Chain A
């Protein structure tokens, strides 16, 4: 992960700032992760969290949902979970003599898919269709999901026994992958204080309407991405394909993801255009789960974030005026 303690807080759009502040009432000291989640939401992407239990993954996602007044569902993935447990199922209603569809937990605005690697690939695939298509298919019928739709999936990195690691194709569907990490001592003390009497999540009130969020998602698409920034994105993704420690580099979908995330990030900062700094900041979150290291790198315990960091140091950033070219 990029260390950005030294960077000053980004200046962000007032409504989004209110949202972040609201979430922070519950989640202590995870502003950056909250912002990243918002970026993902704004650009219509999803997030994969890889972290140990108990660091506040659920709480964060719930707080975001509450702040948006959105419908929140949680799916605890287990080995015996079936696809229909995720998507929903049609049941025969004997009163009405009709099949009636019972919405599965994925049919909500914000979904927490907990320990996604514990379930069978079939069930995983059901979720992934939802992620990619924004719809689910049951009984041969395709049903669109609500908008906005945001999935935060988690994986537990320490218990690998009996898990089904997500295949590359599925990892690719997540916009970001990041960790939350443990709080600092001071933060943890703060956490204890806050939950001493009543958990703050209970009293959290919405600060933004879902319609407002949908409008923002539309506005994000208008953020300008100059050609030289696109070039920069391509250079970075390309470099992951060339890197001598990488077995499989970023796909074009990675480039798209990076650009869309960049747009959302720029939008969040009230800027109408993407700058390379946005890309540089987001690159490791977007790319680290999309590249496969070769055995040499694995042997030397190289991390993909480190490789992306190296690449960012090397890739030239175009700074010539479009008009001048």
Chain B
């Protein structure tokens, strides 16, 4: 406590050390944009820098706190608004938003809804944390003169990120080591100087220190850099830990931790994802089927993009046959009309329709936003005649979130023999669009496609061969440990020839690309699998619940005279479409046995279908995920990180204050009479406590001198009396000891000033 031997002088060395520590802290911030969706990390760095300066300058509390608060306001403003912070409007807006956010988020915290915290509030918390850390650093470095623990943590942090995420820390590690060398050495030098000052009264600072330091660090780094390094000797630990760490590497440059769900952007496929069981919708249907959201037609080598051509679904209100200008297949493949009633889950924010089969009409729908509810007659539907995406707009022309709707659709029943004999006379509009392939598609993909289909003589069989190629050739279904293609590597090529491990995006994209390579028009479809049957209505219809984890992608192949036919290349998934033929229904039977063992949680359901659907949950997907945080129930690592800060801080606090806690314990125990010491025991316990606080009887110091010194340090007078009594006890040679109770109050007095 009061053994502060020195006030951190504003010396250059101190400043340099503190700056080095700041650089170390910066290393913590650098990887954040890569592993989270945080952008503009520069603002956080600037804020931290400002906070560090405040701390270093010893600003008094009344100046420092408001300054830091203003700084965080400014940072938040920079992060979330475009207007100038310094205009009155901008400032007011910030202030208003801030108070709002605090209110909302406090309520959420109180309600335990940590996942719901807004980005704004989280950013605020992060700023708060950074300010705290900059103080902590100051304390560690310039008061206790210890930084090794922080350095160690930094290295662990960086290496863990390097191992488990996309972060490439090879430069960072070098920087940290260099900074660390300097920090440790300079701190050691400071300690030596302190020691000098105490013993000889003067400070020896030799430039030789600095030169030696520079030379040594340079040599060490240079040698380490240039020395030959063997390849890693251990297997990549990632697969081993992934499953319970739940960490994900992200989809390449996109830089988000992927979570399963239906997202908009599929330009960068690949990487694993975390499961998300957040609900999407609940549907009452006759039969299970794919929930189609849209298809995409342009394969870029790393993902899918779509061209869109929206037309207003004008006729939809009239309920005509062709109410929707997008048909998947023609009459010949229709298995009859069905209806489905959908209730979207509250957490979702989709403005597009999910439908089964070929959408015919949407007779009922309602939508809502914060301000209003709309009925069917208020809503305007637009259909993308290319990808089949159907979106909804409010009367004001803003896209809205559907809350529930009912639609009619044609169920598919593809006549197999017609498909076999369909021929290859595709309309030009189809071939123009659906045979596209990137120019740099590796030739071996095409060769593989040709090889697989060498013995087929029609489009349907070729599609079937490719569809079943994967399960027949040892491809593995896997959601978490899926590599991301490297820069310039083709997504399909990687899956087919290198990893052979993946989930629906891998399978469906590969099938689509291979079919295109064979000049078979194909497109990539995304949506959800049928979901889990959770209930049955009185009239025998089924209630299905669809979750984010049911997100899925599959393939549609064009057949002249029939239309678009659904194929399901992904292992363990069922093609819900019916193929009417004399032959067996293909995939389910063959595939399911293979798959079952792989399905992670095998459900309670008792029929094959159920199991398959469960499997589906697991696998779902990912191409489809959005950028994480917004939608759902589970927590991202980012949230976990934030939430784990308080417990960690608590632990640190407990650790740091363990002495104090012990002292408090003895104080209480003696006061309450739980422990009944003799006077000597009490005195020695006191010595022990003082020692913990840095007040120790030195060699050559008598009890009396020690007592006087303690009194001086603690500004008490009681220790002198206690010491005199103890002295008598020790040297007096009298038989009866000193009574503890006589001195207990003085004993407590000292401990209180010790704790004060």
Residue ranges of A at the interface with B (Cβ–Cβ < 8 Å): 224, 226, 228-229, 272-277, 280, 312-317, 319-324
Contacts and interface: CB of A to CB of B under 8 A. Distances in A.
A320 B730 contact: yes
9 contacts: A226-B730, A226-B732, A275-B702, A277-B704, A277-B705, A280-B702, A315-B700, A319-B703, A322-B733
A243 to B, nearest CB: 14
Contacts of A314: 699-700
Contact of A226 (B699, B726, B731): B731
Contacts of A277: 702, 704-705
Given A321-B680, A323-B737, A324-B680, A274 B731 contact: yes
Given A321-B729, A323-B737, A276 B703 contact: yes
B327 interface: no
Interface in B715-740: 726-734, 737
B697 interface: yes
B700 A275 contact: no
A319 B699 contact: no
Contact of A317 (B702, B728, B729): B702
Contact of A275 (B701, B704, B734): B704
A323 B679 CA distance: 12
Contacts of B734: 273
Most interface-central of A276, A314, A319 (chain B CB within 10 A): A319
B160 to A, nearest CB: 48
Given A277-B705, A324-B680, A319 B700 contact: no
A103 to B, nearest CB: 43
A321 B700 contact: no
- Size bin of chain B's contact surface: 10 to 19
A279 to B, nearest CB: 9
A315 B699 CA distance: 6
Most interface-central of B697, B705, B733 (chain A CB within 10 A): B733
Given A228-B731, A229-B731, A317-B700, 7 more contacts: A224-B731, A226-B730, A275-B704, A312-B700, A317-B701, A317-B702, A321-B730
A313 B704 contact: no
Contact of B732 (A272, A313, A316, A320): A272
B699 A316 contact: yes
Contact of A224 (B700, B704, B705, B733): B733
Contacts of A273: 728, 731-734
A226 B701 contact: no
A319 B680 contact: no
Given A313-B699, A316-B699, A324-B680, A275 B737 contact: no
Given A226-B732, A322-B733, A323-B737, A313 B700 contact: yes
Contact of A316 (B680, B700, B731): B700
Given A323-B737, A324-B680, A228 B730 contact: yes
A316 B680 CA distance: 19
A319 B697 contact: yes
B119 to A, nearest CB: 62
Contacts of B733: 224, 226, 273, 322
Interface string B242-275: 0000000000000000000000000000000000
Nearest to B724: A275
A314 B737 CA distance: 30
A275 B700 CA distance: 13
Contacts of A313: 699-700
Contacts of A229: 731
Nearest to B700: A313
Given A321-B680, A323-B737, A324-B680, A224 B732 contact: yes
Contact of A319 (B728, B730, B737): B730
A315 B701 CA distance: 9
A224 B733 CA distance: 7
Q: Which 4 A-B pairs have CB atoms at the shortest separation, nearest pair first?
A: A224-B733, A313-B700, A226-B731, A273-B732
Contacts of A317: 697, 699-703
Contacts of A274: 731
